[in-house]
Amino acid sequence: MKLLTKLKPSTFNQRRKRFFNLIIFYTSYVWFKSFSGSVLIPHYHHQGILQKQMIIGDVLYFLSAITVNLLLRKIYSRKSWQLSLIISMISILLIANIKTIQQYYLSNLVVGSTIVFFYVIYNISHFKLTPKHRTGLSSAIFFSLAPMVSLVAPMLAGFIANFNYLYIWILSTCFFIISFLQSNRQYNFEVKYKISFKEVKPTLVFIILQSLWEPLIVTVIPIFSLFFIQSPLYFGVYMSYLSLMSIIANLTLGKLTDKLQKRIIFLYPLTITMALATFLFPQALTKISWWLIITGVIQFCAPLFWNLTTSMFIDTTKDIETGFVTRELILSTGRMISIILIAVNFYFQPKPTYIFYYLGFIMLLFPATLFLHTKITKRYNYL
C-alpha cells in the first residue's frame, strides 16, 4: 500500500513497515477471535443458555464497552492490545464449562471491554498510517480481512467442535499466543481518550442510525440462527457462508465504487436494499431457505456499507483519535439500546418479529437523512 508521497524515503519505508506489521497482527487477532467465537452460540445452547439470556449477555457486553470508554483516560497501544487478548482468553476460560448463568453474564461483561481496548486503538493506528487520499482503499482492506479469515475459521472450528469443544479451547490458546507475540512487534503510541460530539458532528446522525441498526448483525443473525441450526458443524458452515457473501460483495461492488469519484451514490441502493431485507426477516423466520437468502443479502451489503460510512467519517473528521473514541461510544450505546428492545420483544413473542419493523425503519432513515443533508439543506458534502 502506498503511503504519504511527500515523506522522505526512510520515513515512508518506516510507515509502510508499521502498516504491514499492523495488518499481520490484525489478521492473527481476527483469526483468534473468529475461531474461538464462531461456534460459541451452539455451545451456549448446549450448555443450557436460553436465547433470551444470550441477548441479555449482549446487553452486558456493550454496557462494558460504554463503561470502559467513559472511564479510560489514556493508554498505550501495545498495552491495550495485549490487555484485549488477555481479557478475551479469560472470557473463553469462563464459558468453557458454564455452571451458572452468572458465569455466562460475567464472561460477556468482561469481554465487552475489548471493543475499546482493541478496535478503538486499532482504528486509530490503521487510519493514522493511511493518507487521506487512500482512505477508501485502506478501509476496503480493513473490512475485507475479517470476511477472508471468517471464510475458513468458522468452518474449521465447527468441524473440530463437532468432535469435542475441548480442542477449540486448546487451539484457541495456541492462536492467542501467536497473536500476543505479534502484538510485541507493533509500534507503541499513547492514545488519550477524549469524547467530543462536535468532532463527529458531520456524521453524527449516521453513526447513531448505524448503531441502532447493527444489532441485526451482531445479535439477531447469530442468536436467531438457533431456530434453524444447533449443530456446531452446520453453524460454522453457515458463518462461513455469510463471510463468502461479504467476499463476493467486496470483489464485485468494490471495483464499481473505485471507478466513481462520488462513491456516496452507492449508499442509496445499499441502505434501501438493507432496509427492505430487514423488513423481510419475519418471513425469514418461517423457513430456513428464506433465512439463508435474506441473511445472505444483509451480509452481502454490510461490508461495503461499513467501508463507505467509515470513509465518510474519516473524511469529515479532523482529530482521528477523538473521533474514533467518540464514535465507538455512540456505536456501543446505540447497539445496547436496540438489543434491549430485542430482549423486550423476545419476552412478548417466542419468535420476535416486531423488532424488524423498527430496525427496517431505522435503516430507511439513513438514505432519507443522506438526501436531506446533501440535496435539500446542502449542509455537508460527503466523499
Residue pLDDT, tens place only, 295-343: 999 999 998 899 889 888 988 888 889 999 999 999 999 999 999 999 9
pLDDT of residue 263: 64
User: Sign of dihedral through CA atoms 89, 303, 130, 374?
Assistant: negative
pLDDT of residue 1: 36
Does the structure show a pLDDT above 70 at 223?
A: yes
Residue tagged 460454522 (cell numbers):
236
Cα–Cα dist 119/131, whole Å: 20
Does the structure show a pLDDT above 50 at 4?
A: no
- Model confidence over 68-95: pLDDT tens digits? 999 999 999 999 999 999 999 999 999 9
Give the helix/strand (H/E) hosting 75: strand 74-76
Q: Tell me the average pLDDT of the chain.
A: 89
- Model confidence over 259-282: pLDDT tens digits? 555 667 888 999 999 999 999 999
Kindly give, in sequence order, each residue whose CB lies less than 8 Å from that of residue 242, ignoring residues fewer than 6 positions away: 150, 221, 295, 296, 299
Residue tagged 481476527 (cell numbers):
30
- Where do runs of H (alpha helix) occur along 260-315? 267-279, 281-284, 288-315
Rounded mean pLDDT of 202-209?
95
- Where do runs of H (alpha helix) occur along the chain? 9-37, 40-46, 51-71, 77-95, 101-111, 114, 121-128, 135-161, 165-183, 204-213, 215, 221-224, 232-259, 267-279, 281-284, 288-315, 320-348, 354-371
Answer yes or no: pTM beyond 0.85: yes
Does the structure show a pLDDT above 70 at 114?
A: yes
Q: Are 219 and 339 in contact (CB under 8 A)?
A: yes
Show the cell assigned to 297. Answer: 443479502
Q: First vs last Cα of the chain: how many Å apart?
A: 21
- Model confidence over 42-71: pLDDT tens digits? 999 999 999 999 999 999 999 999 999 999
Cα–Cα dist 297/319, whole Å: 35
